[in-house]
A and B are shown apart, each in its own frame.
Chain A
């Protein structure tokens, strides 16, 4: 559960929705608001949070709340 709440807040800000609307299984396929601009805002939010630029593969693999959580967790382990 580490970083889940942080990930949910970041995703909600990026998609301009409330955190309550983002369930544990939220994904690109499920969230109507997760469009191309939302994805760009999400990447920028995460980069601001981690204070580093995401790699192309990290950007490509972001497709769910769990992916955001995992990215925050792995970045936390390596810093």
Chain B
């Protein structure tokens, strides 16, 4: 039986933990409205009210759907988040990540934090496979998948429609298998 257990992970520079309605801050609201932040995800920027954002955060149950904040430990500020969805029948999870604070772009946040999440979802949540589905033009995301050794499983041609101009967009699927990750971590 699936139990609700919070995620709470520390890396050298960052803290990862479940977001709650209290984390619906002005900072977070500006990311949702920022084309530069949301554009690479093909999500339409929207100006939300704080209550709307709080309700959205609360919609994640922490069992099969997680919204996990990334916090700078040095500055004690919220800089981004992971969205993780679990297919509990097949033990497959999908990861999405947004670094909202542009000061942290190009600072290897994902390369430092995602390994901790991979460890957690493989070892503590029993996942056998984790996938990521970036748009083919989300170049920083593709760089990070490659740098971490994820396997490209395929390119879906014209799989999405651009929210900006309606053009068809290619999407890629990367995957990490539990055994491959353990081999990379030297814990096989």
- Least CB distance from B102 to A in Å reads 10
Cβ-defined contact, A28 with B152, below 8 A: no
Residues of chain A at interface, number, CB under 8 A: 13
Interface of chain B residues 104 through 150 with chain A (CB within 8 A): 105-108, 110, 136, 139-144, 146-147
Residues of chain B at interface, number, CB under 8 A: 18
Find chain A residues with CB under 8 A from B141 CB. 36
Cβ-defined contact, A36 with B170, below 8 A: no
Q: Given the known A-B contacts A56-B170, A56-B172, A60-B146, are A40 and B155 also in contact in the complex, defined by CB atoms under 8 Å?
A: no
- Least CB distance from A39 to B in Å reads 4
Cβ-defined contact, A28 with B147, below 8 A: yes
Cβ-defined contact, A60 with B142, below 8 A: yes
Per the bound structure, the CA–CA distance linking A35 and B147 in Å amounts to 9
> Which of chain B's residues has its CB closest to A39's CB?
B143
Report the number of A-B residue pairs with Cβ-Cβ less than 8 Å.
Answer: 42
Say which residue of B105, B110, B142 sits within 8 Å of A59 (CB atoms): B142
A1 contacts B by Cβ under 8 Å:
no
Find chain B residues with CB under 8 A from A39 CB. 139-140, 142-143
- Least CB distance from B175 to A in Å reads 14
Cβ-defined contact, A36 with B172, below 8 A: no
> Which of chain A's residues has its CB closest to B145's CB?
A60
Cβ-defined contact, A57 with B140, below 8 A: no
Per the bound structure, the CA–CA distance linking A40 and B144 in Å amounts to 11
A50 contacts B by Cβ under 8 Å:
no
- Least CB distance from A31 to B in Å reads 12
What 0/1 readout, one digit per residue, does chain A (47-64) give for beta carbons within 8 Å of chain B? 000000000110110010
Interface of chain A residues 30 through 79 with chain B (CB within 8 A): 35-40, 43, 56-57, 59-60, 63
Residues of A within 8 A of B (CB): 28, 35-40, 43, 56-57, 59-60, 63
**Which A-B residue pairs are the 10 nearest by beta carbons?**
A36-B140, A37-B106, A39-B143, A56-B136, A40-B139, A36-B143, A56-B155, A35-B106, A43-B139, A40-B140
